């Protein structure tokens, strides 16, 4: 319990630091949100009307420290104001609409890539020098070297535009109403297959290489020889003994991947016009929508911190030494 309380205190401090950067970075961008909105509308207004508009969106002409404390208050009350680009929709509503789609993409991609990469890494280490190791390891290294935007564009062109096997945009068929029907769920899976495949291909190589190297290090330990000497089956020694201990660094990598993928899904969502928070962040940056940018970056920060705390909990379960401590 003391270990978890220390980690919670650490993550609270990390959250406050990240929130501070979240406050400062959008204000370093060139351009003023109100001026951009007025320019897009081809409108002109007097100074008084402009000040009223700025106050509506929370861009008051106050000292920076007052704006900062007001911003911290809005975080803990979960009130990020009104979106500039999608006025008059609140930022919270925009994020809550987009968040489930990004969670679906990242969750499915992590599940597929972690499962496939970890299993292939275990088999490649257990059967070093065989065909599965010769094929899987170089392929994993090659996949790690390819940028995600290249994978997304190739998948979009070959499987979407050229051969028309999968749709190239939207999260589901626009003709359908969002319900828990079989038709709607099938449409979501069909439209999400290509983005999930793209994200999975980017991640699977890292999990494979990490697990293979960890397994090779564990196979030389005395407890592995002891398990084999006791007559245990290869499957039990491989998974219960070696893989469980080799899994700890991969679990850490999983948490880091979740946070990185949560933000890195921006490329995939923009390429496939997928309505997630990554695509929303892109639209917010283009429109200098400070409230939307801050809200989305805060969601990304929370996702990273929650994922790391979940890994700490998993470590307690996987590593008996932490339980005894």
Entry pTM:
0.74
For 136, the domain range is 100-324
Asked whether residue 165 is domain-assigned, the answer is: yes
Give pLDDT tens digits for 15-43. Answer: 888 888 877 776 676 655 556 656 655 55
Q: Which residue has the higher pLDDT, 29 or 286?
A: 286
Specify the range with the lowest mean pLDDT, choosing from 165-169, 248-252, 269-273.
Answer: 248-252
Band (pLDDT 50/70/90 cuts) for residue 323 is low
Band (pLDDT 50/70/90 cuts) for residue 134 is confident
- For residue 90, the 8-state DSSP code is B
Q: Residue 312: what pLDDT?
A: 73
Whole-angstrom distance, CA of residue 28 vs CA of residue 206: 34
Asked whether residue 37 is domain-assigned, the answer is: no
**CATH no. for residue 192?**
1.10.3720.10
Asked whether residue 262 is domain-assigned, the answer is: yes
Q: Is the pLDDT of residue 325 over 60?
A: no
Q: Residue 289: what pLDDT?
A: 74
Q: Under 8 Å CB-to-CB from 51, ≥6 apart: which residues?
A: 61
Asked whether residue 26 is domain-assigned, the answer is: no
Whole-angstrom distance, CA of residue 237 vs CA of residue 65: 59
Average pLDDT, rounded, for the chain = 76
Give pLDDT tens digits for 159-175. Answer: 888 888 888 777 888 78
Asked whether residue 84 is domain-assigned, the answer is: no
Q: Is the pLDDT of residue 317 over 70?
A: no
Closest CA relative to residue 246, chosen from 207, 274, 272, 273: 207
Asked whether residue 17 is domain-assigned, the answer is: no
Concatenated DSSP letters for 99-155? HHHHHHHHHHHHHHHHHHHHHHHHHHHHTTTSHHHHHHHHHHHHHHHS-HHHHHHHH
Band (pLDDT 50/70/90 cuts) for residue 206 is confident
Give pLDDT tens digits for 75-116. Answer: 778 777 777 777 777 888 888 888 888 888 888 888 888 888
Q: Residue 101: what pLDDT?
A: 86
Quote the number of domains for the chain. 1
Asked whether residue 200 is domain-assigned, the answer is: yes
Asked whether residue 77 is domain-assigned, the answer is: no
Give pLDDT tens digits for 212-228. Answer: 887 777 776 777 777 77
């Amino acid at each position: 319990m003391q270990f978890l309380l220390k980690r919670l205190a650490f993550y609270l401090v990390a959250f406050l630091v990240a929130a501070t950067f979240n406050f400062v970075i959008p204000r370093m961008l060139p351009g003023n949100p109100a001026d951009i909105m007025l320019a897009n509308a081809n409108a002109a207004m007097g100074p008084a009307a402009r000040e009223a508009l700025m106050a509506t969106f929370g861009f008051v002409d106050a000292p920076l420290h007052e704006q900062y404390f007001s911003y911290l208050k809005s975080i803990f009350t979960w009130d990020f104001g009104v979106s500039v680009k999608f006025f008059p929709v609140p930022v919270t509503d925009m994020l809550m609409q987009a968040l489930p789609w990004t969670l679906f993409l990242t969750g499915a991609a992590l599940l597929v890539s972690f499962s496939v990469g970890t299993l292939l890494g275990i088999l490649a280490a257990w059967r070093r020098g065989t065909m599965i190791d010769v094929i899987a390891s170089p392929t994993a290294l090659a996949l790690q070297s390819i940028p995600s935007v290249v994978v997304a564009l190739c998948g979009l062109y070959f499987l979407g535009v050229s051969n028309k096997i999968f749709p190239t945009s939207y999260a589901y068929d626009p003709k359908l109403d969002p319900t828990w029907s079989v038709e709607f769920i099938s449409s979501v899976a069909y439209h999400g297959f290509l983005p999930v495949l793209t994200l999975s291909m980017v991640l699977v190589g890292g999990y494979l290489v990490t697990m293979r190297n960890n397994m090779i290090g564990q196979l030389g330990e005395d407890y592995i020889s002891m398990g084999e000497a006791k007559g245990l089956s290869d499957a039990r020694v491989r998974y219960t003994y070696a893989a469980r201990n080799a899994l700890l660094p991969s679990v850490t990598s999983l948490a880091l991947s979740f946070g990185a993928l949560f933000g890195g899904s921006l490329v995939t969502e923009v390429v496939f016009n997928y309505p997630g928070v990554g695509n929303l962040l892109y639209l917010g940056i283009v429109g200098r929508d400070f409230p939307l940018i801050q809200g989305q970056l805060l969601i990304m920060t929370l996702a990273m911190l929650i994922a790391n705390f979940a890994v700490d909990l998993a470590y307690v379960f996987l590593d008996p030494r932490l339980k005894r401590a």
